[in-house]
Structure 1
Amino acid sequence: MTETLLDEHQDWTGQWWRPEDPDNKVPGVLTYSPDEGLRLRLIGGWKYNVTRPGKNGSTIITDELQRWPVVVGIGDGKYITLLSVHVTTARSFSLGGMFGTPDKLELRAHTALVGVHIDDPDEPAFTAASAHVEDMTVWSRRTGIQETHYFGPERDLTGTIELKHLEALTVESGPLTAKLSHYAWHPHSERTRSQTLTRVREHQVIRFEREEPQSFEYWLDLLGGMADLLSLSTLRACGIISMSVFLPPTPDDWPDDHPMRDQPHEITVYQVRVVKPKPDAEALDLRNYVLTLDDLPFEDLLPRWLEVRDRFAAARSMILGLRYVRSGYIETRVVTAVAAAESFHRALDPAPPIPPEEFKLLRKALLEAAPADRKAWLSDRLTEHSNVPTLKQRLLDLVGRVGEAGVRLVHEPEVWAKAAKDARNNLAHVGTADNDLNHLHAVAEVTASLVILNLLHELGVPQDRLRNAVDEHPDLSHAAKLARRVLCNDNSIVMQIAAVGVTVVDD
């Protein structure tokens, strides 16, 4: 079995054309680079300037360059579809080329689908998708490799390595079926003049299936969601190592006894994402996971994740964005972290602090008492949307939802909530900020960590596992130290957890 990795360079030589003009084929080379993405260099090309009609039948040639939703081609004998294509460079060595077709044209594409021609990128054509995601193999807590070691007399070292195929874990969520499949390779020996090295390999792949075909973006969103789940589970950015989508089987294209009659057609996807995969990087130690399939079985976790990622989409994107992009201004990280906390709480749809009927009566009384020239101003501020918890109340609620783990993280909820509220308001509403960057850094890290705990809580992670994560995970435990020492100015080892009525010794 071969696997096309998104950290490897690829190139295809062939002919390329736009679906609406199939007779105008142009030779060129498509290259994929994990750093630079997809680049198509054409010998010749198409009209690349955007034109607009002018007065008296004239044509205005603008300085804008063309964009095409789809470009297709046949490269090295393979059907290839390029999505979201735009011109980057055009070269013309004659005056006619400037107003006609160029002598050289360079294009960039967002995505390449190798193995298919599709004219409409939104066409519901695919019935399945799969991805190999970083850290998924350890996260699955499944292995088909068994090692046995024997220690005999006089340092006699012997042993065995056994490789078994594991059945896929399968779960259904509405019309969607998800499978966590085990892929393994037969033992392989490499012989050199100094030694013989024998290897076995395995990894896990996530696959989604539906009977009703869906668009490419639908499947891409699901695969990206699995990368998000692994990033949440490890608290570090996890990239997609390889991904594919699948077309329905075409039994009429094969003989009656051919094994491919009932097999879907695999289409390899090339795309540069925010997180670039590093499959050969060292694996995380198990203690760096805040969630594995030991904590929640696949059949429970996957459907719950699909609900959580949709319900808390904005908070999820913001909080994982802080993991995907570590650099940047600390002020931006503070605003993003607090906004993620507020967005998460809004998605919970809490009850208004004042009952709606009581709020209507109060609003009416205040408007009647207000001077005539102030009624409009007051009315704009006393809408039904203003009957919501304050930011500080939202933050304190998030601590309470995760119980002891939340208090162990923020140390003193009132102190942290005020610090987070003031930092966000000073940055977003006043236009000033605390000049103490250590203080702002602590606010960002503690607040982001609390949102992570709440996401894990929504997934059903037990309270004791959340508490252990705060105590043991390097990132969460560091955030807890920042809360205690920077925000609360407390260097003691005793944390008084007044919110839950217990005292916990910080060991």
Structure 2
Amino acid sequence: MMSKDARLDLPAEWTGNWWLPENPEHPVPGVLRYEPEEGLRLLLIGGFEDRTFHPIDGGMDEADETFTWPLLLGSADNKEITLLDCLSVSSESYGLGVGGLHKQTVSALTALVGVHLKNVDQEAFTKCEVSVENLNLWSDSSVFTKTLGIKDEKLNGEGSIHVKPTNEPSVAVSGTMISLAHVHTLPHFDHMRGQTRGRMRDTVHVRFEPTKACSLAGAREYARAIQDLVSLATHTACAILWIQLRMPPKDRDYYPEGYPIRDREVKVYFQGTVRGDAEAKALNRNDVLFTCHDLPFEEIMPRWWDIRQRFQPASNMILGLRYAPARYVEGNLLTATGAAEVLHRALRIDESPIPKEDFGPLREVLLDQTPDKYRSWVKGKLRNEPTLRERLIALAALPDEETMSTLVPDIDQWAKVTTQARNDLAHNGQTPKQSIDQLLASVKVTSAVVIFNLLQVLGVPGERQREVIHRNSELHQTAMQARIHLTVSEK
């Protein structure tokens, strides 16, 4: 049975009929199943033709190709369903020309439950609601408050839990209204044979309301933006828990005047890069880099949208180490240093080691002294850009000074070791001059420097940065590794 919130960490199933958009007169019965570990599978009794035959002398030859369908439509459990990016995984038949397909399994990348789309790019959705892991913690807001009874400076056994709707902070960003919203249940008692349990639930999500209806791709981009923000803020890979879209109801004109009409709900299913678990225990608050208490929601969202545009390659690379970390330290080193380089360029720090007015004439003199047959090669090498080592040193100078001195006690040595390791790995495929402990420390420190630069441009106060470097268990350990393995005093 489909979960009420369409959670991506829970299985779901729909039974009904399915058809190709161009052939609705020939539906095929089947079951659509969603599993968090496997994604979407459509199990059909019968199927859609997924083979092409070419006549040859004495018979038919089956073409060696894989069939895909951009869209499949279905009507299951009283729901309209659209499947996107479908692929025939397996098909069985009784034999060529004998009754067609017996059964077929089709995989799909995305299922939209509640709508039949005309095409993948259809701009049909007026709202997008997204929930990601640890959003409750990051939002620093709740509909719940509690009290404990005290008498004579001792707990007297009395207490209460109150629920009260909270304000929804909202801000307009690039033509889209973004709100932080809560959905909560009222108090309920479960009377069991051995105990009575009272429960309520508060779920936080972010709601996007664009001025113009958006496509599924636009909605997915909203979801990724929130996922990346919360993952950066909590210093961990946060999964998308659910996405729900809304669109205008059908046949609005046929309802009586004043009749309350609700928008249609469309639930989105897909297999995420990160598997979520809504029931898992929340993070330790000390490990979170910042919350809406440090930067109010109305301030952080416009800044994050700007930063995603300016620094998205660096953000993607550094968060990629969280979402899908490489198994080898060498891959992580290349990713971390690559993120540092592209971030340094995006910050538009003066990148010219030689003043531009001096470099031009110097370049011409060098080229004049170069034989013609080598001039093209030399011309390509003459670039007035800083080295990776210089970029790393410049990045370490931008966040809070006390924080950086704690994280990287010896900036020159860290930059030297990291640059040498990256160059040796990129050019020779190995790092003979660095120990594995140095490589691990270089990856962690370089990643942390990039993260603190992102926090700096987001506006996270220096005081909060100093708290983070001491309270976050992973960053505290990174600073210890830097002191041991990335200082000149190391033997």
Q: TM-score, normalised by structure 1?
A: 0.91
Match of 2:115 in 1: 116
Task: Tell me, in whole angstroms, the C-alpha distance in 1 between the residues paired with 2:441 and 2:356.
Answer: 37
8 Å CA contact retained: 1:85, 1:110: yes
Q: Are 1:197 and 2:197 matched, yes or no?
A: yes
1:402 lines up with 2:399 in the alignment = yes
Question: What is the DSSP-based 3-state SS (H/G/I as helix, E as strand, rest coil) of the residue aligned with 1:336?
Answer: helix
Contact in 2 for aligned 1:312/1:344 (Cα 8 Å):
yes
Deviation at 1:152, TM superposition (A): 4.6
Task: Give the structure 1 partner of residue 246 of structure 2.
Answer: 246
Deviates further, 157-166 or 60-69: 60-69
Matches within 5 A, 1:28-67: 28-49=30-51, 61-67=62-68
Partners in 1 of 2:104 and 2:456 — Cα distance?
52
Task: Measure, in 2, the Cα distance between the counterparts of 1:255 and 1:2.
Answer: 29
Change in 2 beyond 3 A, CA 1:376/1:152: closer
State how 1:10-409 maps to structure 2 within 5 Å. 10-49=12-51, 61-96=62-97, 101-152=100-151, 156-250=156-250, 251-260=252-261, 263-326=262-325, 328-353=327-352, 354-382=354-382, 386-404=383-401, 405-409=403-407
The Cα offsets for residues 451-501 of structure 1, whole Å up to 9 and x where unpaired, read as: 11011111111112112211221111111111111111658xxxxxxxxxx
Distance 1:403 1:426 in 2: 31
Q: Do 2:410 and 2:488's aligned partners in 1 also have CA atoms closer than 8 Å?
A: no
In structure 1, C-alpha distance between the alignment counterparts of 2:52 and 2:243, rounded to whole Å: 34
Query: How far apart are the structure 2 equivalents of 1:191 and 1:490?
Result: 65
Contact 1:420 1:443 survives alignment (8 Å)? yes
Which SS does the other structure have where 2:309 is aligned?
helix
Contact 1:29-1:41 within 8 A present in 2 as well? yes
Question: Partner residue of 1:500?
Answer: none
**Deviation of residue 350 (structure 1)?**
2.9
**Secondary structure of the residue that 1:103 maps to in structure 2?**
strand
Aligned residue pairs, count: 482
CA contact (8 A) 1:50 1:65 kept: no
In 1, the alpha carbon distance for the partners of 2:363 and 2:63 equals 56
Match of 2:409 among 391, 408, 411: 411
Unaligned runs of 5+ in 2: none
Question: How big is the shift at 1:357?
Answer: 4.3
Secondary structure of the equivalent of 1:49?
Answer: coil
- Change over 3 Å in CA distance of 1:336–1:327 after alignment to 2: closer
The residue that corresponds to 1:498 in the other structure is none
* Partner secondary structure for residue 126 of structure 2: strand
Whole-Å Cα distance in 2 between the matches of residues 355 and 322 of structure 1? 36
Q: Specify the SS of the correspondent of 1:209.
A: strand
**How far apart are 1:356 and its partner, in Å?**
3.7
**C-alpha distance in 2, partners of 1:481/1:59?**
69
The Cα shift of 1:189 comes to 0.7
Counterpart CA distance in 2 for 1:54 and 1:446 is: 63
Please give the alpha-carbon distance, in whole angstroms, between the structure 2 residues aligned to 1:152 and 1:471.
37
2:71 alignment partner AA: V
Q: Distance in 1 between matches of 2:56 and 2:176?
A: 55
Task: Report the Cα offset of residue 253 of structure 1.
Answer: 4.4
Instruction: Measure, in 1, the Cα distance between the counterparts of 2:47 and 2:249.
Output: 35
Q: Is the 8 A contact 2:408 2:479 kept in 1?
A: yes
Please give the alpha-carbon distance, in whole angstroms, between the structure 2 residues aligned to 1:378 and 1:253: 74
Q: CA deviation at 1:351?
A: 2.9
Per-residue deviation at 1:282? 0.9
Shift of the 410–72 alpha-carbon distance from structure 1 to 2, 3 Å rule, reads same
Return the letter of the residue paired with 1:416. Answer: W
Deviations 1:257-304 (A, max 9, x none): 2211xx432210111101111111111121111010111011100110
Q: Distance in 2 between matches of 1:483 and 1:352?
A: 27
Equivalent runs, 1:423-434 vs 2, <5 Å? 423-434=421-432
Q: Which residue of 2 aligns with 1:480?
A: 479
1:468 aligned residue:
467
Where 1:3 maps in the other structure, the secondary structure is: coil
Q: Is the 8 A contact 2:125 2:247 kept in 1?
A: yes
What are the ranges of 5 or more consecutive residues in structure 1 without an aligned counterpart? 492-507
Task: Give the TM-score of the pair, scaled to structure 2.
Answer: 0.93
Q: What RMSD, in angstroms, separates the aligned Cα atoms of the two structures?
A: 2.1
